[in-house]
Chains A and B, each alone.
Chain A
Amino acid sequence: MRIESVWIGRGGQGIVTAVYIVAHASIADGFYAIANPEFGAERRGAPVKAFLTITDYFEDSPEPIKNPDVAVFLDDKLIDTMRVVVEAVKPGGYVIVSSGKGPEEVAGIIGRKDVNIAVVDGIGLALKHVGLAVPNGPMVGVFAKVMGLPRLESIKEAIASQLGKAVEQNFAAAVEAYKTAVVIPAAEAGSAKISVEIPTTSAFLTGDYELVGWDQIPEGGLVYPGSSLRYKTGSWRVEKPIIDHSKCIMCRRCWLFCPDDAVLEVWREAKGPGGRVVRVKAIDFSYDYCKGCGICAQVCPTGAIQMVREL
């Protein structure tokens, strides 16, 4: 037996812990496993990937997985940016997605009829049981459901060992995901051979630059100024801020505290006295860059800003 899986998520979603938990539980079940997460992004929200191979024979090669049996997405907004991973899944394999969207809609985004698709609202379950938007526990549960391993008891042992805290809550999230995930079986067999492979390039290195040869790189690794404008960090968001302008007193605390300069002061048309349309200053958000940290809502003195679930 050999199950190769690739896990795609973002820094902070617990992807490293997720593969450690599945590997740990598989080992407890008597299998061999290699959980090989990618490190280096060190940035909450940045795309990361992890490899997990489960075998029933000794295996110690941390080779990158090119064509997985299973692809697990902890964030449906990464499907488009990491589409190569979806395309590289072996026909008849599995794509497991955490999404607040309906299963059919997710299947449409995946766009492959020759793979099995499993969908669960991982973030919703994590928020419900753990109180954090960290969907790793639920995704472990869905993995166990569709692959038939590891056993739930082993997953609980692994959560206790790998997390050491909130064990019951995380396990409850995993179990509910195990029970409620919707599985859409593959409709077609697909071609036996697939031409796409996951490149060995790190997931988080997906900037708009070309990987040039050693003779083309500025000496000493000198880096000329780039621009953070190029990196639309808005996709990292789980929740987004919305504002009720009738409650806003334009104190600009949100503008002051936003760590990403994503709170904007804009002109807005409003109805003035006597029905006259006047232009007034108002607070708005730059959703291309807002990471959804919620600080604006936290510091708002009138409750004008609310965070709403987006993912």
Chain B
Amino acid sequence: MTLQLELGKVRQKRIALTGNHAVALAAKMARVEVIAAYPITPQTPAVERLAEFVNNGELDAEYIPVEGEHSALSAVVGASAMGARVFTATSSQGLGFMYEILPIAVGLRLPVVMGIATRAYSAPINVWGDYSDVMSMRELGWIIYMVSNVQEAFDTTIQAFRVGEDPSVHLPVAVAYDGFWISHVLQPLEVPEDEEDVMRYAPITRSWRKLDVDNPASLGAVGTPEWYFEIRYAAYKALEDSIKVVLEADALYGKMFGRSYGLGSGYKLEDADVAIVTYGSIYGLARKAVDALRAEGIRAGALKIRLLRPWPADFLRRRLDGVDKVVVVDRAFNHGGLVGPVATELAATLARPIYSAYATIGMRATDSAALKKAAERVAKGEVEPMRPFNIGLRGP
């Protein structure tokens, strides 16, 4: 039995799905026209579900079962260059195998949408969820969302089409959702009853530069030193400016569907002395840790970053400038770097020393008590700023 809800102007229903199936449903409701994907844990159920949609006639799309992720992204880049709305999804080593094509989608300004069920990079082989894959694509020019639950994964995937295809953007968009802790977690979510409402929200603009036999042109020609800088700068600038479109698309989504997320969210930050900053599914744990800390008289807050690229610097400054001690719980190593990947950028953004912790590496289980303990150590001055410490690591 589904519960009928009247949210905003759009009729929605409450259902239960895993993150993978929610992302697949979002792509289907956005009426993607070409899908190319190669299965990899933990993304597999997402692309299997899309294959089913195509097979049973619910989705009128070309599904290209390629022999690897390099081909998967290449195929959707090609289809996008022909003007199609496209989708692919991957994880970890699959993203690594796509790496060569990731900056090509940016340089060609193609609004590819990709789901990433986040997963640790090998070796050792680890099929479980951390963010080492996502963190490795930060500098390539994609818009990158990091979501915190199944509902947000669904909503953000739909928003991704609207943002990427916006005439002022024309960039590929990745929607990262925790491998297993979102991809394989079943949660309730509200979804539009009528696909038409999704298409009203995110009509296929086809406004990007595409190949057309009646108006021939070359896409992907050589960019010699006299041209590359300018062409690449245009993509760089488009990404920087896309933050406005991300916010507008999110606000419109809120109006139509009743849910919006901004560039991130804060929890009890207003009077906080210590803030836990993180991303993905463990934001829920961080909020619980904040409540437990406050029960003990420590004025704590939490913040989750939803948009990794473009980096939401102003948002972060507004929310965190007044907080004395900020600790970032990073979910991927910044090998050889000073502090965690997001901690590095946040310290630069706030222009002051902050605290950096590593957690959930290789999906090492964590809980709100562990995050609370970490924030407590920061609050009590037991750890040094700009010197990473670990949550849940064995050994000295």
Partner-B contacts on A (CB < 8 A) = 40, 201-202, 205, 211-215, 217-225
Cβ-defined contact, B234 with A219, below 8 A: yes
Asked if B56 CB lies within 8 Å of chain A CBs, one says no
Cβ-defined contact, B230 with A220, below 8 A: no
Contacts of B170 in A (CB 8 A): 219-220
Contact residues on B (Cβ < 8 Å of other chain), bracket: 20 to 34
- Measured in the bound complex, the distance between the Cα atoms of B219 and A223 in whole Å is 6
Cβ-defined contact, B225 with A40, below 8 A: yes
- Measured in the bound complex, the distance between the Cα atoms of B106 and A274 in whole Å is 73
Given the known A-B contacts A40-B225, A202-B225, A205-B224, are A222 and B218 also in contact in the complex, defined by CB atoms under 8 Å? yes
Contacts of B218 in A (CB 8 A): 222-223, 225
Q: Which residues of B from 301 to 353 have beta carbons under 8 Å from A?
A: none
Asked if B214 CB lies within 8 Å of chain A CBs, one says no
Partner-contacting stretch, out of B107-115, B189-197, B369-377: B107-115
Residue of A nearest to B220 (CB): A221
Q: Nearest 7 pairs between A and B by C-beta?
A: A214-B230, A220-B109, A221-B231, A223-B218, A220-B108, A222-B209, A223-B221
Contacts of A201 in B (CB 8 A): 226
10 A-B pairs whose Cβ atoms sit less than 8 Å apart in the complex: A40-B225, A201-B226, A202-B224, A218-B209, A218-B217, A220-B107, A222-B209, A223-B219, A224-B217, A225-B217
- Measured in the bound complex, the distance between the Cα atoms of B208 and A33 in whole Å is 49
Given the known A-B contacts A40-B225, A202-B225, are A217 and B109 also in contact in the complex, defined by CB atoms under 8 Å? no
- Measured in the bound complex, the distance between the Cα atoms of B218 and A225 in whole Å is 8
Cβ-defined contact, B224 with A217, below 8 A: no
Cβ-defined contact, B226 with A202, below 8 A: yes
Within the complex, what minimum Cβ distance (angstroms) separates A268 from chain B?
Answer: 37
- Measured in the bound complex, the distance between the Cα atoms of B260 and A3 in whole Å is 66
Contacts of B216 in A (CB 8 A): 224-225
Residue of A nearest to B236 (CB): A214
Within the complex, what minimum Cβ distance (angstroms) separates A75 from chain B?
Answer: 22
Asked if B188 CB lies within 8 Å of chain A CBs, one says no
Max count, chain B CB within 10 A of own CB: residue among A213, A214, A215, A217: A214
Cβ-defined contact, B226 with A211, below 8 A: yes
Cβ-defined contact, A222 with B219, below 8 A: yes
Within the complex, what minimum Cβ distance (angstroms) separates A213 from chain B?
Answer: 7
Within the complex, what minimum Cβ distance (angstroms) separates B142 from chain A?
Answer: 15
| Residue from the list A40, A212, A219 in contact with B209, Cβ < 8 A | A219
Residue of B nearest to A215 (CB): B234
Cβ-defined contact, A217 with B226, below 8 A: no
Contacts of B230 in A (CB 8 A): 212-214, 217
Taken residue by residue from 92 to 125, chain B's Cβ proximity to chain A (1 for < 8 Å, 0 otherwise) reads as 0000000000000001111000000000000000
Within the complex, what minimum Cβ distance (angstroms) separates B32 from chain A?
Answer: 21
Known: A201-B226, A217-B234. 8 other contacts (CB 8 A): A202-B226, A205-B224, A212-B230, A217-B231, A219-B208, A220-B108, A221-B108, A223-B218
Cβ-defined contact, B224 with A40, below 8 A: yes
- Measured in the bound complex, the distance between the Cα atoms of B169 and A219 in whole Å is 10
Cβ-defined contact, A214 with B224, below 8 A: no
Given the known A-B contacts A213-B230, A214-B234, are A221 and B221 also in contact in the complex, defined by CB atoms under 8 Å? yes
Contacts of A222 in B (CB 8 A): 209, 217-219
Max count, chain B CB within 10 A of own CB: residue among A202, A212, A218, A220: A220
Contacts of B219 in A (CB 8 A): 220-223
Contacts of A224 in B (CB 8 A): 216-217
- Measured in the bound complex, the distance between the Cα atoms of B231 and A201 in whole Å is 17
Max count, chain A CB within 10 A of own CB: residue among B110, B216, B221, B234: B234
- Measured in the bound complex, the distance between the Cα atoms of B218 and A109 in whole Å is 40
Residue of A nearest to B109 (CB): A220
Contacts of A40 in B (CB 8 A): 224-225
| Residue from the list A202, A205, A214, A225 in contact with B231, Cβ < 8 A | A214
Contacts of B110 in A (CB 8 A): 220
Within the complex, what minimum Cβ distance (angstroms) separates A167 from chain B?
Answer: 35
- Measured in the bound complex, the distance between the Cα atoms of B209 and A205 in whole Å is 25
Q: Which residues of B from 229 to 243 have beta carbons under 8 Å from A?
A: 229-231, 233-234, 237
- Measured in the bound complex, the distance between the Cα atoms of B226 and A212 in whole Å is 10
Within the complex, what minimum Cβ distance (angstroms) separates B74 from chain A?
Answer: 16
Within the complex, what minimum Cβ distance (angstroms) separates B355 from chain A?
Answer: 39
Contacts of B221 in A (CB 8 A): 221, 223
Residue of B nearest to A225 (CB): B216
- Measured in the bound complex, the distance between the Cα atoms of B221 and A222 in whole Å is 7
Asked if B8 CB lies within 8 Å of chain A CBs, one says no
Residue of A nearest to B215 (CB): A224
- Measured in the bound complex, the distance between the Cα atoms of B220 and A218 in whole Å is 12
Within the complex, what minimum Cβ distance (angstroms) separates A311 from chain B?
Answer: 27
Contacts of A205 in B (CB 8 A): 224, 226
Q: Which residues of B from 172 to 228 have beta carbons under 8 Å from A?
A: 208-209, 216-221, 223-227
Residue of B nearest to A204 (CB): B224
Within the complex, what minimum Cβ distance (angstroms) separates A17 from chain B?
Answer: 22
- Measured in the bound complex, the distance between the Cα atoms of B143 and A59 in whole Å is 43
- Measured in the bound complex, the distance between the Cα atoms of B212 and A224 in whole Å is 11
Within the complex, what minimum Cβ distance (angstroms) separates A201 from chain B?
Answer: 6
Residue of B nearest to A201 (CB): B226
Contacts of B229 in A (CB 8 A): 214
Contacts of B208 in A (CB 8 A): 219-220
Within the complex, what minimum Cβ distance (angstroms) separates A309 from chain B?
Answer: 33
Residue of B nearest to A41 (CB): B224
Within the complex, what minimum Cβ distance (angstroms) separates A277 from chain B?
Answer: 45
Taken residue by residue from 27 to 66, chain B's Cβ proximity to chain A (1 for < 8 Å, 0 otherwise) reads as 0000000000000000000000000000000000000000
- Measured in the bound complex, the distance between the Cα atoms of B217 and A202 in whole Å is 24
Contacts of B209 in A (CB 8 A): 218-220, 222
- Measured in the bound complex, the distance between the Cα atoms of B229 and A215 in whole Å is 12
- Measured in the bound complex, the distance between the Cα atoms of B231 and A96 in whole Å is 38
- Measured in the bound complex, the distance between the Cα atoms of B220 and A150 in whole Å is 45
Contacts of B231 in A (CB 8 A): 214, 217, 220-221
Contacts of B224 in A (CB 8 A): 40, 202, 205
Given the known A-B contacts A220-B219, A223-B221, are A214 and B109 also in contact in the complex, defined by CB atoms under 8 Å? no
Max count, chain B CB within 10 A of own CB: residue among A202, A215, A221, A222: A221
Contacts of A223 in B (CB 8 A): 217-219, 221
- Measured in the bound complex, the distance between the Cα atoms of B228 and A205 in whole Å is 13
Within the complex, what minimum Cβ distance (angstroms) separates A199 from chain B?
Answer: 10
